[in-house]
């Protein structure tokens, strides 16, 4: 069951500013760092208000999902690796136009 959660996380990360406040942090450095960078870069590159709002919702949803997984003793140990996999899977699209994030 734990592996299914990881697959969902990676898939969701591929599908999805101001850094999150401390209370919005996942609590795992690689996850929080990715979310902050992703949010800032993509929001700055998004042109239309509607697109920015959609991206904001995606980041909030991903942050919420990761926070929930981090609070579960069974899923927390594998969450850092899931975040790393998400970063690696989205790097190509975030480093390409229109985003050019420089991950």
DSSP letters, 22-59, are GGG--S-HHHHHHHHHHHHHHHHH--SHHHHHHHHHHH
Could you read off the pLDDT tens digit of each residue along the chain, which spans 103 residues?
Answer: 444 333 334 444 444 444 455 568 999 999 999 999 888 887 777 677 777 788 888 888 999 999 999 999 999 999 999 999 999 998 898 888 877 887 7
pLDDT at 9: 42
pLDDT at 22: 55
Distance, CA of 54 to CA of 27 (rounded, Å): 24
According to DSSP, residue 10 is labeled: H
> What does the domain layout of the chain look like in residue ranges?
2-14+27-95
pTM of the model: 0.72
């Amino acid at each position: 069951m734990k592996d299914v959660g990881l697959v969902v996380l990676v898939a969701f990360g591929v599908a999805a500013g101001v850094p999150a406040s401390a209370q919005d942090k996942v609590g795992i450095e690689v996850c929080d760092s990715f979310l902050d960078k992703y949010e800032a870069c993509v929001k700055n590159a998004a042109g239309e208000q509607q697109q920015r709002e959609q991206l904001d919702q995606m980041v909030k949803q991903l942050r919420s999902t990761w926070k929930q997984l981090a609070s579960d003793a069974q899923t927390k140990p594998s969450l850092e690796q899931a975040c790393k996999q998400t970063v690696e899977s989205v790097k190509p699209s975030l480093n390409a136009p229109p985003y050019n994030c420089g991950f």
